[in-house]
Chains A and B, each alone.
Chain A
C-alpha cells in the first residue's frame, strides 16, 4: 500500500477550496464514508499485522492533520459568513434607546423619607396624628395659652371655635405621651397648615416633629442627636450652631442653624448676609407640657424638635420658590 503523495494530494485539494460549498464537498470526498480515507482504511485490512500497524499510524496522522486543516478552514468561512451577516444587518447605534417607563417621587417625599431614615436608624419610631386638631392639642397642651400671638386668626385656619387645622406637628407629642408611658422616642411627619401664601409660604406644608423622653435625657443629648442628623442630611463637614430661642413648649429652646450652603458662610441674599440658615427648632420639653400629659416632671426629662420639610428640600435642591412644590409642574417633578 502506497501512502506517499497522499498528504500532498489532500493538501492540494484543500488549497483549492474557495468557499463553504467547496469545503463541504472536499470534506465529504476526503473524510466521508466513501471518501479517500475510507478507501485507505479498507486497504489496511489486507495488510499483515506489522505493516498494518505502521501504515495505520501514518494514515491516522495524515487524517488528524486533514481534520485540523478542514476545521480551521470551516471556522474561517463561518467567520466570513457571520461578518457578512453582521454587516448586512448593521444598525445605527446612535438611534435613541427604548427607556423603560418609570415614575418619580415628589421632592417632599424624597426629603421626608431621608429624614425618617436617619431618625429611624437612631431608634425613633414613626407616629401620626390627625390634620384637624382641637385647640387643646394644638395649643393649650403645648403651653400656648389662649392669648398667645400664635393663636391669631391670621396664622391659624379655624374649622370652628376650638377646632383648627394643626399649625405644627407638635400635637403628636401630646397624643403620643398621653397614650404611652416613658420612654418615648418618636418622630411625627405630616402636613401642617398656616394662613399664608407667598414666595416663602404655602397654606399647607410639611413638618417632622421629634420627641425623646426618658430618665436623664439632657440638653447635651439633644445637641448630639441633632448634630448627627445635620451631618447625615447635609454632609459631615456642614458647620452648625445651636442658638438660644423661644418656643412655649420647650425650655431651654434652641434654633439650629447650618452654614449657608449657597455662600459657604460668606454672606448672601439667601442667608440674609448672616452666613447661616435656620434649619430646625428644638429644646428641652417644658415642665408644663409634662404636667399637662400627667408625666412626673421631677423624674423624667426630654427633648423635642421640629423642622420644615420644604425648607430642607429647598436648601438641599436649591429651590427658591416654595410654591413650586404644589404646582406639580411635570418639568419640576421630573428633575428629582
Chain B
C-alpha cells in the first residue's frame, strides 16, 4: 500500500521525518518496505501568466504566447491546445533543465524565436499526464520557482500491510495507526454535502437485499446532470502516487475515496438500470455475465450479484457489468457503497481470477460502520468535480452488528508477555487504537472492539495489540523457567552423522537435489510397470514437466547433476546424496523412504606427478559401500545385478541379511547417452531404513592378541565360473585361527590365477610351523576339491 505523506498529513499532523515515521510504523507491525522520495526533477521552471495567445503564422497547430513572469514578458511557442489567456502555467526558461538530460535553449520554431517552453505535468515529473500544459492554481504567484513549491516535493511510504489488517488498506487507516504512534487522534475529512431539488432517492430508486449475510449493508445514492472530465491535478497526483491510474472525474472519485477511506465504491449509469431498482442476490446455478472489460464471466452458485429489474449489472465487489457502466454519455449516476461478505468475495474473485483493489479490500473485511460516510464523501467530491445535483436522501439496508467485547485480565497480559505493564499503560495503549474499556474490575476489564478490526476475536488478539503499542523493544529477554532435560540424538541422527562423516573422509561431496523428477526419468531408467519405482506420486500443479512427479529413485537427479558438472569441464566427480523417495501405495496412501546415493566418475585425481591414478571401476564403488556398511556394523554381500538400467557386466545387487538393500555398478551407456554423458558412471543406491534396522553402533573392546601372527600365501587357478568370494568364505570356515583372507593378485593367462594371503592368529599361544603347515594343507585340500580350482605350483 502506497501512502503519500502529503495525503496522510490531512488526517494527522506528521511532525517527524519520513525515515523516523517509517521506522516507527515498521516497529508497529506495518512494515515500510520503501520510501519513495519525490523531489523536483527540474530547475529553472517558474510560474507565469498567459497574457496573449496568437496563432503561429507558419504552423497550424502551434501558437505564440506571451508570458508574464512578473519581471518580464517572454514570447514562447507552444503546441498544446488546452491553454487560454490568464492561465497560470509552468514556464521552463532558457537554461532550465528537465529530467536527466534535457536543457531548454532559446530556439527558433518555424521562424519565431521561443524563449523557453510551457510544460506538461509529465515533463515536470509530477504525473504521467502529457495531454496538455499543466494548469497551476491561481494562488501561485508569477515568477515563483516551481521547485520550491510543496507540490514538487513528497515522500511516499510503501507499507506492507499484513493480511489480517484490512483496516490499514487506506490512507485514513494508516493515519489511525500513525495517530496512535504520535499520540494524536486521526481526523476524518470535514465537508458539507449540498443537495438540491425536491426529489428524493427513495422516490427514484428501489433497493432489495435477498441475503443479509452476503450483504449486511448497502447504500445507494444518486447524482444527476454530471459531466465527465479529467480530475484536477491534486487528485490525479494522489491517485498516481498511490499506484493507480487516473481515468475521469467519476471513476477517479470512486478510487480516491477507496484509497482514502478503504471503502470500495461502484458507479452505475442510473439511466441504464432497468426498472430503476437494485437487488442484491446470491446466484443460484450457473450463468454467464459480461463484465465492463467485455469478457464473459462464468457465474456460479454463491456469487453475490447486483441486479436491476432485468438481471445482473455487477458481480458484487469484483467488477461491474458492461450493461450499466459509466460512459461518456452518462448524465445521471447511482453510487453503490456496500459491505459484502469477505468469504464470498474471495471465493468468487479466486474462481474468476480477478484480484482488483476493490475485491482485495472486501476480502479482508472493510469497516461496515463507514459505508454511509464513504458514500457521502464520494457524492461531495463528485459534485465538486463533475457538477450536477446530488439528490436528497438515500436507499439503505443495514443489518447492524454489535461490536464484539472481550474480557481480559492483567495477569493474562503480563503473564503471556513476561512484562509488568501497568493498568494505566494498558488503558492508554488500547484507547490509542480505538479499543475502549467498557467495564473494569480488580482483575481485568472488558474491551469493546470496533467493527473495522476484523482481526481481533479473543484475548490473545488484545494482548498482541498491547504488546505492539507498548513496543516489542520494551519487552525483556528472559530465560525460560523449565526443567533441564538432556536431549539425546536419535538412532537415525547418529547413523546419518556417521554416514556423513564417512563420506567426507572418503572424498565424497554432498549434493542436494529437488525431491521431484520427471516421468521421463522412470522411462529412461527402464523401470518396469510392476516395480515399486514406477508407482510415482504426481504433482497436480508442477512448475515444469521435468519436475512433474515425486522421485522414486535418487539416481536420475544425481545423474543430471553429474551431467551439469561434466558439461562445465569437470572430469572427476565423487558425489553422495541423502534424500527421500516417495511411493504411491494402495488405497491412496503415500510412503516416504530415506535413501543414500553414491556416484563416482573419472578417477580419484586427474593426474599426479608422483604416481599413476587409474580410472574408477566397479570395485571402487563396491568398496565405498562395503566400507560404509562396515562402519555401521553391518556386512553386505553382492549378488548378480537385476536392475534394468545397469551394465550387467559390472554391476551387482547389494544384499544385507538376505534382503536387497540396494545396488551398485555402472549405468548402461545407452542410458547415459539420454543424459548426454559420455564417460562411465559408477554408482550405488542404498536403503537407509534397512541399514538403520540391521546396523549396530555398539562399541565393544576385544583384547589385542599377545602372540605373533603368521602369514602364508597361496596361488590357485580358478575357473571363471567360481566366484572368488566362495574361496574366501571356504578358507575362513576352516579354522577360527584364520583371522583374515586377502586377495593380493589376480591375472589371467589362459586360466584365471588368484593369489591369496592368509593370516593365522591364536589368542592362546604362538602358532608352531607344524600347526600352520597342517592348516595350509587343509586349505589346499578343501579348495582343490572344488570343481575348477587347482593349486598353482
Contact = CB atoms under 8 A, between A and B. Distances in A.
Given A157-B542, A220-B419, A244-B27, A329 B564 contact: yes
Interface stretch (B28-36, B64-72, B369-377): B28-36
B487 A218 contact: no
Interface in A279-336: 284, 286-287, 301, 325-331, 333-334
Nearest to A244: B29
Nearest to A191: B515
Interface stretch (B217-225, B270-278, B501-509, B653-661): B501-509
Interface in A41-69: none
A139 interface: no
B592 A221 contact: no
A158 B565 contact: no
Given A220-B418, A246-B165, A330-B573, A254 B487 contact: no
Interface string B641-664: 000000000000000000000000
Nearest to B419: A220
Interface string B754-768: 000000000000000
Contact of A287 (B460, B478, B561, B582): B460
Contact of B415 (A95, A126, A218, A224): A218
B541 interface: yes
Interface residues of A, number: 78
Contacts of A94: none
A333 B540 CA distance: 32
Interface string A204-231: 1000000010101111110111010000
A123 B484 contact: yes
A197 B33 CA distance: 22
8 smallest beta-carbon distances between A and B, as pairs: A220-B418, A244-B29, A218-B418, A101-B507, A246-B162, A252-B464, A328-B511, A221-B480
A103 B418 contact: no
B460 A244 contact: no
Interface of A: 95-96, 98, 101-106, 108-109, 120, 123-126, 130-132, 147-149, 152-153, 157-160, 163, 165, 183, 185, 191, 193, 195, 197, 202-204, 212, 214, 216-221, 223-225, 227, 241-246, 251-255, 272-274, 284, 286-287, 301, 325-331, 333-334
A243 B472 contact: yes
Contacts of A286: 460
Given A252-B464, A326-B513, A102 B505 contact: yes
B758 to A, nearest CB: 30
11 contacts: A103-B506, A103-B510, A120-B487, A157-B541, A191-B580, A195-B543, A219-B416, A251-B460, A286-B460, A287-B458, A328-B511
Contact of A147 (B343, B459, B485, B537): B343
A103 B29 contact: no
B143 interface: no
Where chain A touches its partner, the secondary structure class is mixed
Nearest to B541: A153
Contacts of A212: 480, 482
A132 B512 contact: no
Given A131-B582, A219-B418, A330-B570, A183 B477 contact: no
Contacts of A120: 487
B417 A218 contact: yes
B680 interface: no
B576 interface: yes
Given A204-B515, A219-B475, A243-B472, A159 B538 contact: yes
B504 A126 contact: no
Interface in B738-777: none
A152 B350 contact: yes
Interface in B520-575: 537-543, 547, 550, 561, 564-565, 568, 570, 573-575
Contact of A243 (B27, B503, B506, B537): B27
B468 interface: yes
Contact of B31 (A98, A149, A243): A243
Nearest to B466: A252
B346 interface: yes
A131 B766 CA distance: 59
Interface string B226-257: 00000000000000000000000000000000
A138 B588 CA distance: 18
Contacts of A272: 33-34
B461 interface: yes
A158 B549 CA distance: 11
Interface string B18-50: 000000001111010111000000000000000
Given A126-B493, A204-B515, A132 B590 contact: yes
Given A131-B592, A328-B575, A333 B509 contact: yes
Contacts of B479: 221, 224-225
Count chain B CB atoms within 10 A of each CB in A148, A153, A219, A286 and give the residue with the most: A219
B504 A102 contact: yes
B475 A104 contact: no
A218 B416 contact: yes
A106 B512 contact: yes
Given A242-B473, A333-B509, 10 more contacts: A103-B576, A109-B510, A125-B488, A159-B550, A204-B515, A218-B416, A221-B480, A223-B475, A328-B513, A333-B511
B162 to A, nearest CB: 4
B592 A160 contact: no
Interface stretch (B259-267, B442-450, B602-610): B602-610
B608 A106 contact: no
B490 interface: yes
Contact of B500 (A105, A131, A216): A105
